[in-house]
């Protein structure tokens, strides 16, 4: 390892490795849509407008008569420049539709992250420190339940209890039964709307994080240097919070980053349940509408976010942990 230049080399290599994956995704996504049964003309033109002249004109405009590789190439070169084509049903550019939905999904992810940071990590650490005691068993069972409960059902149950039943019992609803208010309009109202879907999304994420935190902390607490610190008479609280936790933090951060896919999965159903206008709901609507360019665009976008997140996590890992060799 030669200091900085080693890291730069690693960075370049790692970025280059991400490119074939994204290219592969673009081919896969393109073929998936092309192989979809049914003529895209049917989705674009209403029945009454389907005159031979109109059909020929739309085919011409979309390049549908060209060979597949020509179509792929023109689609890809546009996509690289940020042009993902037009939505069939909404008449808006796909890129713009996606951009307008990122912010609401990011808000949910942020709340989910808070739940993971402030509930999951402390409970994972406590579990590891008091391994095999009642506290440990209890928090492990809670984490297991958190992983096993389907997010869409949990969301419905939260609405049922805190919006619907609450209103029947006390005359007012604790949370709204769904909908969206941007934080720029009213922070208080936003909090009321974002809390329930954010927590719903956060439960599974937090449960995974708690399990990872526990197992990492258990491993670290068994390391030799921790035993050495103990034998030197260092206070247990200092050992746990400083010696062990700081070292366990790297893999925990990694898991938080890698699980971004989990958040996307969750956002599809959670946004649907709470009528939250994010990426997940946009994808669902695109699938229902058979809006192929929009489906293509969202898949490509999600894959790009995933690849970049993995890249950032890897680089962070390499940067934080001097033991990692850049090769």
Partner 1 sequence: MTDITIDRGTMVEPLREKYNQFADTYRQLDASARISFWIVFGIVNTAIFAPILAPYDPAALHYEASLQGPTLAHPLGADLMGRDILSRLIFGTRASLAVGVVAVGIAVLIGVPLGSIAGYLGGWTDEFIMRSMDVVISIPALVLGLAIVGAIGAGLVNVIAVVAIVYSPQYARIIRGSVLSVKEEEYVEAAENTGLGNASILVKHILPNAFTPVIVQSTYHVATAIILEASLSFLGLGVQPPRPTWGMMIASGRQYLPGEWWISVFPGIAIMITVLAFNILGDGLQDEFDPRSETETGGGA
User: Least Å distance between CB 122 and partner 1?
Assistant: 19
Confirm or reject binding of residue 324 to partner 1 (CB under 8 A).
no
What span, in angstroms and rounded, lies between the C-alpha atoms of 22 and 41? 28
> Cα dist. 218→67, 144, 147, 244, 254 in Å?
57, 18, 20, 9, 17
Nearer to partner 1, 16 or 53 (CB): 16
Burial class of 258 by CB neighbour count within 10 A (0 to 12, 13 to 18, 19+): middle
Interface pick for partner 1 out of 6, 14, 25, 183 (rule CB under 8 A): 25
For the chain, the straight-line distance linking the first and the last C-alpha, in angstroms and rounded, comes to 9
What span, in angstroms and rounded, lies between the C-alpha atoms of 299 and 28? 10
Nearer to partner 1, 110 or 144 (CB): 144
Stretch that binds partner 1, among 56-64, 94-102, 116-124, 256-264 (CB under 8 A): 256-264
Interface pick for partner 1 out of 2, 3, 16, 20 (rule CB under 8 A): 20
The three-state secondary structure class of 222 is coil
Which residues between 140 and 159 bind partner 1 (CB under 8 A)? 141, 144-145, 147-154, 156-157, 159
204 within 8 A of 262, measured Cβ to Cβ: yes
> Cα dist. 220→93, 112, 224 in Å?
50, 26, 9
Interface pick for partner 1 out of 105, 123, 211, 282 (rule CB under 8 A): 211
Interface pick for partner 1 out of 81, 168, 231, 237 (rule CB under 8 A): 168
Size of the site for partner 1 (CB under 8 A): 58
- Write each residue from 264 to 303 as x if it is in contact with partner 1 (CB under 8 A), else as -, in one continuous string: xxx-xx--x-------x--xx-xxx-x----x--xx--xx
Nearer to partner 1, 232 or 323 (CB): 323
Instruction: List own/partner pairs for 224-228 with CB under 8 A and 24 or more apart.
Output: none
User: Least Å distance between CB 160 and partner 1?
Assistant: 5
175 within 8 A of 162, measured Cβ to Cβ: yes
What span, in angstroms and rounded, lies between the C-alpha atoms of 129 and 173? 40
Confirm or reject binding of residue 21 to partner 1 (CB under 8 A).
yes
Which residues between 33 and 92 bind partner 1 (CB under 8 A)? 33, 35-37
Which residues between 170 and 209 bind partner 1 (CB under 8 A)? 204-205, 207-208
Q: 93 forms bridges with which residues in the sheet? A: 86
Q: Which residues bind partner 1 (CB under 8 A)?
A: 20-22, 24-25, 28-29, 32-33, 35-37, 141, 144-145, 147-154, 156-157, 159-160, 164-165, 168, 204-205, 207-208, 211, 259, 261-262, 264-266, 268-269, 272, 280, 283-284, 286-288, 290, 295, 298-299, 302-303, 306-307
């Amino acid at each position: 390892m030669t200091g900085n230049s080693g890291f730069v080399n690693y960075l370049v290599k790692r970025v280059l490795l991400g490119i074939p994956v994204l290219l592969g995704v673009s081919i896969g996504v393109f073929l998936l849509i092309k192989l979809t049964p049914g003529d895209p003309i049917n989705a674009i033109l209403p029945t009454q407008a389907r005159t031979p002249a109109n059909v020929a004109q739309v085919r011409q405009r979309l390049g549908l008569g060209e060979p597949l590789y020509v179509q792929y190439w023109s689609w890809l070169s546009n996509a690289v420049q940020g042009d993902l084509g037009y939505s069939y049903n909404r008449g808006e550019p796909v890129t713009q539709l996606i951009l307008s939905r990122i912010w609401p999904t990011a808000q949910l992810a942020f709340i989910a992250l808070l739940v993971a940071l402030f509930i999951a990590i402390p409970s994972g650490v406590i579990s590891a420190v008091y391994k095999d005691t009642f506290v440990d068993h209890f928090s492990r069972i809670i984490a297991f339940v958190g992983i096993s409960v389907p997010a869409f059902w949990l969301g419905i149950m939260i609405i049922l209890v805190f919006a619907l039943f609450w209103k029947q019992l006390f005359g007012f609803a604790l949370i709204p039964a769904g909908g969206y208010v941007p934080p720029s309009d009213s922070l208080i109202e936003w909090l009321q709307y974002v809390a329930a879907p954010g927590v719903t999304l956060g439960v599974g994420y937090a449960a995974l994080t708690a399990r990872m935190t526990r197992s990492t902390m258990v491993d670290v607490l068994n390391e030799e240097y921790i035993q050495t610190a103990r034998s030197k008479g260092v206070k247990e609280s200092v050992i746990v919070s400083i010696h062990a936790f700081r070292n366990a933090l790297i893999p925990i951060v990694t898991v938080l980053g890698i699980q971004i896919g989990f958040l996307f999965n969750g956002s599809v159903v959670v946004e649907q349940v709470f009528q939250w206008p994010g990426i997940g709901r946009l994808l669902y609507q695109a699938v229902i509408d058979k809006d192929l360019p929009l489906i293509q665009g969202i898949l490509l976008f999600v894959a790009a976010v995933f690849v970049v997140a993995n890249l950032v996590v890897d680089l962070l890992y390499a940067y934080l942990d001097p033991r990692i060799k850049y090769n």
